[in-house]
Structure 1
């Protein structure tokens, strides 16, 4: 069974939970649910030790996954997770509801690498695109 991780920001928590639940319902295994991490939500009570623990858990989850879903807009952590996924030659599904990643002035070069599958439209369409990609999601070896 293929494993996945969803990278995004807390402002997209509903979308993250929707995609996560849909993929689990389709039989995929979720490597880590950072949305349940109350320590990260309560920034005023977070410590450096908390950040170390959270960062380690998220890094391990990205590395354990077969593919990573990135829901934009994302913050610093989202882009670090994208970088880890690319460095580990993971398949990445990059979702931008409005297609803003096509804007040359604001996009990232990393969004346009061959192992990044750009996805637009609804979250349901994203999930269907991922499900239709079975057997090609595994590690990208020769890119």
Structure 2
């Protein structure tokens, strides 16, 4: 079973859902769909207790994933999840539709760690990178 987690900001929710649904159609299992929390946030009904619970689910989902996908731009939570993924030694792919990852004015030092994989391009390029590597590894 191949497990994944997609980290990003609420403003990328459409892209997060696209990546998740495509991976699920390929037999991957989403460790946590945080996008389901959007309606409560929009309604302004989220409590501190809710945030704690969501944070625990997201932490556990990153730890339980075989691959963690980071879709930029991301917010504070995205970068915390990136740190957890790095610390846990998860396969971590950082995606940006352009070269913003390499912009010295806005990049993060953590984006350039050797254990991170980077993908610049479309979401379909990213998906091919995830699925293609899994096929290659399985064939060996």
Match status 1:65 vs 2:65: yes
- Superposition pairs of residues 124-139 of structure 1, within 5 angstroms: 124-134=124-134
Residues 64 and 40 (structure 1 numbering): CA distance in 2 closer, same or farther, change over 3 Å?
farther
Superposition pairs of residues 1-143 of structure 1, within 5 angstroms: 1-37=1-37, 38-42=39-43, 44-134=44-134
Where 2:55 maps in the other structure, the secondary structure is: helix
TM-aligned CA deviation for residue 135 of structure 1? 6.8
Change (3 A) 1:136 1:56: farther
Gaps of 5+ in 1: 138-143
Q: 1:90 to 1:46 in 2, by over 3 A?
A: same
Supply the distance in 2 between the matched residues of 1:14 and 1:96 (Cα, whole angstroms): 15
Query: How far did 1:97 drift?
Result: 0.3
Structure 1 stretches of 4+ moved >4 Å: none
Per-residue deviation, 1:103? 0.8
Higher helix share: 2
User: Is this contact kept in 2: 1:39–1:50, CA < 8 A?
Assistant: no
TM-score w.r.t. length of structure 2: 0.92
Corresponding pairs, count: 136
